[in-house]
A and B are shown apart, each in its own frame.
Chain A
Amino acid sequence: EVQLEESGGGLVQPGESLRLSCVGTGFSFSDYWMTWVRQAPGRGLEWVANIKQDGSEKFYADSVRGRFTISRDNARNTLYLQLDYVRGDDTAIFFCARGRLGDLPLWGQGTLVTVSS
């Protein structure tokens, strides 16, 4: 079955770090751009970051640039998002998604990150 599964969410204190993972199964992971999207409580979808198939290009939303790092390990079919210096407004469900030409036909179920002291 073609799917994405996120993990790594949880409760984290402001200023601390967390690493999210997303494992892709049932498809050739290294063939696709990959994307992180988040949804804060009561808010809409917000694009977070993109990474090219070989990891050579990475792009970030202004709200996370300099604090979050997207990466991938194609040998492990895994996408990562390193969250550093987290803030209260980073509390959200984080989704990973597989890209096509920029549209996102495949999504994971999401992992919840809660930033609180």
Chain B
Amino acid sequence: DVKVTQSSRYLVKRTGEKVFLECVQDMDHENMFWYRQDPGLGLRLIYFSYDVKMKEKGDIPEGYSVSREKKERFSLILESASTNQTSMYLCASTANNEQFFGPGTRLTVL
């Protein structure tokens, strides 16, 4: 079974803190993605990566950065968390015609 794991299910941070969200997949997938999901808006793509050290901006990259030092790990970084970044964050990796999602991290920024 493909497994995508995320470092935390729930996270509470304060405004201005630097936040790291980690994602690991165990199927040697090249493509990995970070989305956020908010009520009424669906999933929106923040960043994606198609290879180690390669990254591309998605639809809403502002306020975020990413790191892909190893093939299995794709990290999302909030340099200075703000309250409007309170959301559910979903990591995914893809093979052929299916995206496999991690369990999600519900981040609350106070």
User: Do the two shown chains form a genuine complex with each other?
Assistant: no
User: Which of A's residues lie within 8 Å of B, judged by CB?
Assistant: none
